[in-house]
Amino acid sequence: MARELTLLGRSFLLLAWEDIMEQVEQLASKIEKTYSPDMIVGILRGGLFVANLLSDILGIDEVHPLGLKSYRGVGERGEVKIYHWPKLPPLESRSVLLVDDVSDEGKTLQTAINRIILPLGPKMVKTAVLHIKPWTTFHPNYYVVVTSSWILYPWSRYESWRQLSKMHAELTRGSEAAQTLLSVLGISRERAARLVRDGAGVD
């Protein structure tokens, strides 16, 4: 079950794969009520997991990956950069579903729509995510959960460790907080230490 925990003065939402499946089912039910897309574009990396699961539930075979990155540094976001352009067919007669895992500030989804999808003239495009943050400037057509917590997805737990260990030096010194975080993330102390030793976990 998804659970909230407080650590390092932050609130975290810990999600297991079972939670993701349950939430994707809820998301699919919402989409089915008002929209019938014939193709899905999933934003790498997390959005592609959600896109693939949705494609299975909704019976949509055509899924295209799109690579965008907006993180510039710890706790900062810079300009959104496209690092993988999808090879999309003509979209004049297509109904597109653009999928990501979360709408945080909303810049990633907005960039994907304005720079990639709309210029191809789709018949219709709608957006879907599992989670939105209260402060997002872009509100997807479909979402499941509103949360202000740091989301610990099962597909990005090592990334979470890297980011958090840069922000909190005590995590690199074997503190109690470090032990708790590694436990909930399911990361071994050996691998965590190797990440720090290799310079991947600390500046």
Dihedral pair phi/psi, residue 140, rounded to 5°: -60, 160
Per residue in 165-201, pLDDT (tens digit) is 888 877 877 788 888 889 988 999 888 877 766 654 4
Answering whether pTM is above 0.85, one says: yes
- What does the pLDDT read at residue 73? 47
Per residue in 47-92, pLDDT (tens digit) is 999 999 999 999 999 999 999 887 554 445 567 888 888 888 889 9
Residue 203 pLDDT greater than 60, yes or no? no
Query: Measured between alpha carbons, how far is 158 from 137 in angstroms, rounded to an integer?
Result: 28
Which has the closest alpha carbon to 20: 51, 44, 41? 51
Mean pLDDT estimate for the chain: 89
Dihedral pair phi/psi, residue 136, rounded to 5°: -60, 140
Query: Measured between alpha carbons, how far is 119 from 189 in angstroms, rounded to an integer?
Result: 48
Which residues touch 142 (CB under 8 Å, ≥6 apart)?
A: 27, 30, 31, 35, 126, 127, 128, 129
Write down all domains in the chain, each with its CATH number in brackets: 14-152 (3.40.50.2020), 156-197 (no CATH)
